[in-house]
Amino acid sequence: MFNKKSLLWLCLFFFLVQITSAQMPGIPGPGNMPKMFGEFKMPQVGSYAEYKMTYPSEKVETIVKMSIVGKEKTPDGKELYWYEYQTTDPKTENIDIVKMLISGDPQKKGTINRMIFKHNQDKAMELPEEMMRMINAPMKKEEKIKKEGEVKNLGKEKMQTPAGILECFHMQYVSENKEVSDVWQAKEVPFFGLAKSVTQGMSMEIQKFGKDAKSAITEEPQKLVIPRTEKMEQAPGIDTLKKELPKIPK
C-alpha cells in the first residue's frame, strides 16, 4: 500500500508522461529526453554512450548515459533489448534511471514493452500494463509529429571530443519554424551515431562510449499498484500536485 506522497508522485508521473508525449511527440516515458537526430541502430549488449548536456542560458549541465544492458526473447522468437537511460545532476548528484524493454527506437511509439524507473536510492518501480498501454497508445490526430523540415549535409569534419578524435558528418536540420540544429555524427558512436549536437538553448557532446555497460538497477523492481484507469480523471491537477508535494514530509 502506498502512502500519500507515493500516490501524489505517481499522479505527477502520469501527468508528466502525458505532457511529455504532447510536447515532444514520439518520445515516451518520463523526464525531458532530448531530441536525438539520426537513425537509431540497436547496438550489441553492453554498448553505452555518455553525453554532457549543457543549457547555457540556465547554466545547467546534465550527464546522460544510454546503455543496452540485456536481451530477451518473446515466445514467438522476437528479440527485445533492455535499454537504460540514466541522467545525473553533477551539482546535486541526483540520479534518475529509466530502464525500458524495447523492440526498436525508444523515441517511437509502440516500441516499449516494459518500463522500470528508479530515483537515487529509492526502490526501483515498474509501471503496470495499464500505464504502458497509455504510453504506447497511437497519437491523436491533433498530435501529429512535426516534419523535420530541411536537412543539409555540410560534409566531413574531424572533431576533437572528450571521447577522442572522431571523423564526423556535419548535418544541419532546419525545422518548419526555422530553428537550426547542427549535428555531428560518427559511425563509431552507438545508438544514433551522435557525437555532438547544438540546438536552440542546448548542446550535447559525447564524453565516452564503450561495450562494457552493466545495469544500474540490480534489484527486483516493485510493481506499481495504481487506481483503476477510469478513475484517473479524478486525480488532482498537475498545478495542485506541484504545490502539495513540497508540503509532504519524507
One domain, residues 104 and 197:
no
One domain, residues 174 and 224:
no
What is the total residue count of the chain?
250
State the Cα–Cα distance between residues 136 and 130, nearest whole angstrom: 10
One domain, residues 54 and 114:
yes
One domain, residues 219 and 108:
yes
Higher pLDDT, 122 or 2: 122
For the chain, the domain total comes to 2
Q: What is the pLDDT of residue 74?
A: 87
Q: What order do you get walking across the sheet with 60-73 strand by strand?
A: 150-161, 164-174, 180-185, 194-199, 202-210, 48-55, 60-73, 79-88, 95-102, 112-119, 125-126, 222-223
pTM over 0.85: no
One domain, residues 165 and 215:
no
One domain, residues 163 and 203:
yes
One domain, residues 112 and 223:
yes
One domain, residues 108 and 157:
no
One domain, residues 36 and 127:
yes
Q: Highest mean pLDDT range out of 45-54, 122-131, 147-156?
A: 45-54
Please give the average per-residue pLDDT across 49-64, as a whole number: 88
Over the stretch 89-129, which tens digit does the pLDDT of each residue have? 998 889 999 999 998 888 888 888 899 989 999 999 898 88
One domain, residues 136 and 178:
no
Q: What is the pLDDT of residue 129?
A: 80
Q: Report percent pLDDT > 90 for the chain.
A: 42
- Full domain range(s) for residue 232: 4-145+211-247
Q: What is the pLDDT of residue 139?
A: 63
One domain, residues 94 and 171:
no
What is the radius of gyration, based on Cα positions, of the chain? 19
One domain, residues 220 and 172:
no
